[in-house]
């Protein structure tokens, strides 16, 4: 493969700007999907979105549609090192501006950072109208230094969490995972704890259909119109004590070990909150909401504090303190608090600081009169 590109440098980052046809990009690139690739950080293709692009693409030849926005690709520096040659021209263009790049044919040289749906949609349309395989596409190629793939995460997150308003929760997971894969330096044990906390939160939010936390945790930054009742930052911070408890005695920090701990932690948290739901069922409400034509099933009510900062911290602290789930269940089920006590403006209002969380725990642990009378004194 031979391409001519404009080379620019931002800081230490080399950037190639060029035009590649659809066939070249499609045959020589891949998208890193979370869970399918150890470096994955993107979601699988949205078939509906892909089909919509394909329909639009079929009108390009008639001049009814264009795709001017650049496809953004990543390529390893080792792949292009010693393969970039400066072009010397006689028409006033600096030889430092234009370069020739020679790459082996038939290899997956590029990673799609932005544009996977456009490429997939255009390729689907090209199966019908073969002329589209030669469609020229503006292409920006980031030349990624060794062990610095985290740059791709930063670019993907910047694009999708601001301009496009897409979910970027997997970037949080991938960013921590890249530490374990040697792509960026480990900044202390705190990052391992953060990875487990975020991974457990992700499992509760997306992978456990019966969880009261399904679609309840807000992972995106700066998006007002989003699903969820509590942000990932306060939620993951609240469960860090449980993470540290799970890490006790663990010295093997391989990715599969940490993922196993995150899975077990998510299951334990889910079991605990099933007990919480059975006690204060009116605080939870299964319903479906729609945002940008996408359906979300939720199990929370935003006018209750139980799944907000106060409830999450108090419940987590109690779970941390007990030796097993049976003791936790007894504390919750014997509480004199009612669902109405959790309602907005009610008894739990304003308990949002460290001292407030302690007060909330005291209120939860206070037993109803009938329970207190039937429970033998510890003295």
For 213-257, the pLDDT digits (tens) are: 998 998 765 444 567 889 888 999 999 999 999 999 988 888 788
Q: Which two tokens stand for residue 73?
A: 């690709």
Residue 347 in contact with residue 363, Cβ under 8 Å? yes
Q: What is the mean pLDDT of residues 1-25?
A: 89
Q: What percent of the chain has pLDDT over 70?
A: 82
| Mean pLDDT rounded to a whole number for the chain | 83
Model confidence at 260, in pLDDT bands (50, 70, 90)? Answer: very high
Angle at 99 between CA 85 and CA 120, to 5 degrees: 115
User: Is pLDDT at 162 greater than 60 in this prediction?
Assistant: no
- In this prediction the pTM is 0.62
Q: Any residues with CB less than 8 A from the CB of 220 and at least 6 apart, and which?
A: 161, 165, 166, 167, 168, 169, 226
Model confidence at 377, in pLDDT bands (50, 70, 90)? Answer: very low
Model confidence at 94, in pLDDT bands (50, 70, 90)? Answer: low
User: Is pLDDT at 121 greater than 90 in this prediction?
Assistant: yes
pLDDT of residue 183: 60
Q: Give whole-number Cα distances, 306 to 3, 111, 194, 197, in Å.
A: 58, 42, 23, 20
Q: What is the mean pLDDT of residues 324-332?
A: 95
**Weakest mean pLDDT among 75-84, 117-126, 345-354, 359-368:** 75-84
Q: Left, alpha or beta for 147 (phi > 0: left; psi -120 to 50: alpha)?
A: left
Model confidence at 376, in pLDDT bands (50, 70, 90)? Answer: very low
User: Is pLDDT at 329 greater than 80 in this prediction?
Assistant: yes
Cα–Cα distance for residue pair 119/131, rounded to 1 Å:
15
What is the 8-class DSSP label of residue 342? G
pLDDT of residue 378: 42
Most confident among 13-17, 220-224, 256-260, 272-276 (mean pLDDT): 272-276
Residue 137 in contact with residue 8, Cβ under 8 Å? no
pLDDT of residue 221: 52
Phi, psi at residue 224, to the nearest 5°? Answer: -75, -40
């Amino acid at each position: 493969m031979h391409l001519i590109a404009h080379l620019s440098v931002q800081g230490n980052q080399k950037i190639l700007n060029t035009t590649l046809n659809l066939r070249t990009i499609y045959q020589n690139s891949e998208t890193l999907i979370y869970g399918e690739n150890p470096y994955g950080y993107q979601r699988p293709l949205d078939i509906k979105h892909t089909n919509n692009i394909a329909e639009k693409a079929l009108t390009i030849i008639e001049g009814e549609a264009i795709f001017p926005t650049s496809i953004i690709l990543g390529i390893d520096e080792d792949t292009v090192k010693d393969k970039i040659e400066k072009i010397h021209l006689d028409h006033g263009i600096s030889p430092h501006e234009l370069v020739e790049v020679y790459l082996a044919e038939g290899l997956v040289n590029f990673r799609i950072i932005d544009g996977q749906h456009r490429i997939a949609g255009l390729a689907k349309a090209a199966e019908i109208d073969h002329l589209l395989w030669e469609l020229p596409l503006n292409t920006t190629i980031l030349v990624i230094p060794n062990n610095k793939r985290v740059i791709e995460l930063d670019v993907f997150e910047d694009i999708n969490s601001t301009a496009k308003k897409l979910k970027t929760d997997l970037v949080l997971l991938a960013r921590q995972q890249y530490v374990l894969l040697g792509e960026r330096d480990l900044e202390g044990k705190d990052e391992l704890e953060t990875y487990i906390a975020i991974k457990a939160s992700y499992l509760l939010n997306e992978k456990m259909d019966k969880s009261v936390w399904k679609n309840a945790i807000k992972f995106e930054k700066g998006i007002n119109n989003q699903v969820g009742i509590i942000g990932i930052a306060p939620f993951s911070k609240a469960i860090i004590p449980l993470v540290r408890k799970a890490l006790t005695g663990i010295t093997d920090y391989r990715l599969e070990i940490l993922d196993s701990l995150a899975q077990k932690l998510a299951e334990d948290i889910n079991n605990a909150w099933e007990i919480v739901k059975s006690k204060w069922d009116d605080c939870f409400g299964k319903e479906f909401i729609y945002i940008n034509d996408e359906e979300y099933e939720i199990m929370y009510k935003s006018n209750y504090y139980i799944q907000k900062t106060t409830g999450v911290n108090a419940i987590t602290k109690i779970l941390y303190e007990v030796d097993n789930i049976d003791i936790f269940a007894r504390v919750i089920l014997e509480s004199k608090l009612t669902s109405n006590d959790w309602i907005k403006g009610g008894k739990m209002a304003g308990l949002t600081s460290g001292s407030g969380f302690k007060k909330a725990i005291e209120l939860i642990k206070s037993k109803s009169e009938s329970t207190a009378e039937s429970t033998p004194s510890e003295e």
